[in-house]
Amino acid sequence: MAEVTLSKIVKKYDEVEAVRGIDLDISDHEFVVLVGPSGCGKSTTLRMIAGLEDITGGEILIGGDIVNDVPPKDRDIAMVFQNYALYPHMTVAENMSFGLRLKRFPKAEIKKRVDEAARILDITELLERKPKALSGGQRQRVAMGRAIVRNPKVFLFDEPLSNLDAKLRVQMRTEIKKVHQKVRTTTVYVTHDQVEAMTLADRVVVMNHGLIEQVGPPNELYHSPRTRFVAGFIGSPAMNFIPARIEQNGSGLAIKLNDKLAFPVPEARKTRYEKYAGKNDMLLGLRPEHITEAHGHMEPGKIPFDANLEVTEPMGMETLVYFPLNGTQICGRVNPKAGAQDGAPMQLAADLNNMHLIDAASGRVL
């Protein structure tokens, strides 16, 4: 097991720069998830760590050793792919032990490792089956087992759950987390699904257009995003962004949304935001859970306002409500018993204690 260091990594395809000089330090035993939209460079980065893509510039270190020119088979990494890549004519045990047999490990050692990996993954009873007799989730466990038996320095996962149905993805997320808690191998995991990233990672790396936007624990990215991109990408449903303007309001500040609607800025944020008073091209960022039904006695910083609901989506434990504001469709989360109805007015409340003020031009959270 070992730390992984990326230093000023660049990857170009002709004139297209897919990865643009990123730096990243991954600690020993850490589970790091690279997340971002298609084309952001996350899979390319993973494949460069694996040695499956050449590096245009920079250095990759595994366990303190530069591996830029080291072939994949000598990097002591194990990769789990999206499509499982199991040999159909081999049993589960033969698939899991294939890499060890190629390296001529003793039979007793191979059996010990396969049995231990099967126990960890709860697939002991499947060892004599062929892949065609397995479900998608079972095949993915076998692919993970094939990686575990090698006892590598680093595990690499390339969108391993994207071929599974929604229920099985949730189950396999839990299994992968359990395996990491038992095995504690340094892990780099790529996904486009921010829910996977949030639930699995010790730290999340949010990538966009070949650059790293922000790195941090899931809760830090959720509650303290540094850019509009991170704020909008992390969280489901996504954060609302409402055109706004900060104005003086007596001795305080107000965030003005339009001629009829302005919210007082909480006192705790006055010093932070007063320098932006009068500046145009601002956005108010509020997550859907911070737009809820209004109550008779509101906490400080929660401001009631009237909205005309266009669409409601009952979700069981909550109802999502959608309404227009400043030419933007806004999403809120209300109690299913709050009486939200399609096409009906409703008094909602905005929790300004959790607001984000964003410079629309730079995308920076202020």
- Taken in order of first residue, the domains within the chain and their CATH numbers are 4-228 (3.40.50.300), 240-359 (2.40.50.140)
Please name the residue that has the structure tokens 């991954």: 26
So what's the pLDDT on residue 242?
94
So what's the pLDDT on residue 82?
79
Q: Please tell me the number of Cα atoms within 13 Å of 207 on its side-chain side.
A: 31
| 307 closest CA partner among 294, 324, 291, 284 | 324
So what's the pLDDT on residue 280?
82
Please name the residue that has the structure tokens 């910083």: 301
Please name the amino acid found at residue 269: R
Handedness of CA 224, 231, 49, 7 (dihedral sign): negative
So what's the pLDDT on residue 214?
97
So what's the pLDDT on residue 46?
96
Handedness of CA 50, 53, 54, 58 (dihedral sign): negative
Count of CB atoms situated within 10 Å of the CB of 343: 9
pTM for the whole structure: 0.89
So what's the pLDDT on residue 1?
56
Strands 186-191 and 154-158, sheet pairing: parallel
Distance CA 175, CA 164 (A): 14
* pLDDT by residue, tens only, the chain of 366 residues: 589 999 999 999 988 999 999 999 999 999 999 999 999 999 999 999 999 999 999 999 999 999 999 999 899 999 988 777 889 999 999 999 998 998 899 999 999 999 998 988 889 999 999 999 998 888 888 988 898 898 899 999 998 888 778 888 888 888 888 888 888 899 999 999 888 999 999 999 999 999 999 999 999 999 999 999 999 999 989 999 999 999 988 888 999 998 889 999 998 898 899 899 888 889 999 999 999 999 878 888 899 999 999 999 999 999 999 999 988 999 999 999 998 999 999 999 999 999 999 999 999 999
Are 186 and 1 a contacting pair, CB within 8 Å?
Answer: yes
Q: How far is CA 258 from CA 45, 242, 305, 331, in A?
A: 44, 10, 13, 18
Count of CB atoms situated within 10 Å of the CB of 136: 15
